[in-house]
Amino acid sequence: MGDKLTADFSGGAVNVITYKLGDINDDGIIDILDAILLQRIWWGDHEPENWQRQVADVNRDGNVDANDLLLLLLHIADPDIYPLD
């Protein structure tokens, strides 16, 4: 479900990072805690790491906003009808 892979080449080393779209707190579960963190990012109350900004942008439009929050909440309510992929 939306697993992504990125590579970080800083410092001359390759650091491979995997993440799941919508799992903003990286606990392996997409739940209301992720929605709260997404809202804090959107409102500017939390400065996300680059990977968090990527997984919070669930509609992949380049912005973290109300649309992402709505999609995440719909997914939490019913992941079969509203998949994040």
In a domain, 55, yes or no: yes
Q: H or E segment at 7? A: strand 3-8
Cβ–Cβ under 8 Å, residues 17 and 51: yes
Q: What is the mean pLDDT of residues 52-57?
A: 96
16 pLDDT exceeds 60? yes
13 pLDDT exceeds 90? no
Threshold 0.95, pTM exceeds: no
In a domain, 12, yes or no: yes
42 pLDDT exceeds 70? yes
In this structure, what CATH number is given to the domain that contains residue 63? 1.10.1330.10
Q: What Å distances lie between residue 51 and 54, 67, 78, 80, 81, CA to CA? A: 5, 19, 25, 25, 26
Could you give the maximum distance between any two Cα atoms of the chain, in Å?
43
What one-letter code names the amino acid at 41? I
Total count of domains within the chain: 1
The HSE-up count of residue 52 (CA atoms within 13 Å, CB side) is 17
Q: What is the mean pLDDT of residues 42-64?
A: 96
In a domain, 85, yes or no: no
**Mean residue pLDDT across the chain:** 89
